[in-house]
């Protein structure tokens, strides 16, 4: 059963170029600000122009802000094209996510918004953005309550009933991370549980450390630490952590990739 592996060591440039989805606020914005402060080149992403303006104000050292609503497949595909047009990235942090959304709420494509933003958008961007050296997927401790029964994830089922939960989508992110690590051995692909932190999404009463919540994804994006230069792992506060073992199933990984391909019309390249 695949459980991750070290990929060959390489020298990493002093300055890296990083794209962070969902960086208009919360952990994405904090990671961006931290990376800019370290001297890295960061491209932000926001859902709309108003949030994009806010993001640039909060992280003035960022290179630019790209705009796209990740609940729309067309806008997500266009975002990948725009990102590629700006130049190659050393790392992409798939930070964007929604939480307080009903599973019944549908996107313009007729897909539950939870699945469209949390599960499908990272897949589309992973496939279409020029392959970076590092990929980081934001998951959650709640992924352990997710279901790996993927048969119901079809456009037909999405149109008639709710078939996905937040926990499911966070498990999808771990599954995607594992699949990418297995198919692309030249890329460091890892998943992160940032903890239950007091962001707008997590709420003021969240008990975990806010700084530690963003530090792990920033560390995985640029660090030369041998503990960061691994692949197919699941991290919590810069340490490898337990995750739902079903994410290691090649059968489950391939089924998830197939579902995303069927819905998006975009095939995952094996190499």
- Structure confidence by residue, pLDDT tens digits, 191-217: 999 975 444 554 454 445 566 778 999
Is 166 one of the annotated active-site residues of the chain?
yes
Please determine, for residue 14, whether its predicted confidence score (pLDDT) is greater than 80: no
pLDDT of residue 217: 95
Q: Strand 64-67 to strand 41-46: parallel, antiparallel, or no bridges (unpaired)?
A: parallel
pLDDT of residue 93: 98
CA distances from 62 to 34, 122, 129, 173, 199 (A): 11, 22, 19, 26, 21
Q: Cα separation of 24 and 77, whole Å? A: 19
- Of the residues 123, 137, 170, 188, which is catalytic? 170
Is 99 one of the annotated active-site residues of the chain?
no
Global pTM reads 0.91
- Of the residues 123, 166, 214, 243, which is catalytic? 166
Please determine, for residue 6, whether its predicted confidence score (pLDDT) is greater than 80: no
Q: Cα separation of 127 and 121, whole Å? A: 10
In CATH, what is the architecture of 17-264? 3-Layer(aba) Sandwich (3.40)
For the residues 142-148, what does the mean pLDDT come to? 96
Q: Cα separation of 235 and 233, whole Å? A: 6
Q: Are 61 and 67 in contact (CB under 8 A)?
A: no
């Amino acid at each position: 059963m695949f459980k991750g592996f070290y990929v060959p060591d390489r020298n990493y440039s002093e300055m890296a170029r990083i794209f962070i989805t969902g960086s208009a606020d919360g952990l994405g914005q904090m990671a961006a600000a931290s990376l800019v402060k370290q001297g890295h080149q960061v491209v932000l992403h926001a859902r709309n122009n108003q949030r994009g303006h806010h993001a640039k104000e909060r992280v003035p050292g960022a290179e630019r802000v790209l705009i796209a609503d990740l609940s729309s497949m067309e806008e997500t595909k266009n975002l990948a094209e725009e990102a590629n047009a700006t130049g190659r990235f050393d790392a992409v942090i798939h930070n964007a996510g929604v939480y307080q959304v009903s599973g019944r709420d549908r996107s313009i494509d007729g897909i539950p918004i939870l699945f469209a933003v949390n599960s499908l958008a990272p897949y589309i961007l992973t496939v279409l953005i020029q392959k970076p050296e590092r990929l980081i997927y934001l998951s959650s401790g709640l992924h352990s309550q997710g279901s790996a029964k993927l048969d119901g994830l079809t456009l037909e089922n999405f149109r008639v009933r709710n078939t996905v939960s937040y926990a499911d989508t966070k498990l999808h992110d771990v599954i995607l991370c594992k699949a990418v690590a297995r198919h692309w051995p030249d890329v460091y692909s890892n998943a992160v549980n940032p903890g239950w932190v007091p962001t707008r999404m997590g709420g003021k009463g969240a008990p975990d450390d806010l700084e530690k919540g963003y530090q792990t994804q920033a560390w995985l994006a640029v660090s030369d630490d041998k503990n960061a230069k691994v692949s197919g792992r699941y991290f919590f506060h810069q340490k490898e952590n337990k995750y739902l073992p079903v994410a290691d199933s090649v059968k489950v990984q391939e089924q998830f990739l197939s579902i995303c391909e069927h819905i998006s019309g975009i095939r995952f390249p094996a190499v």
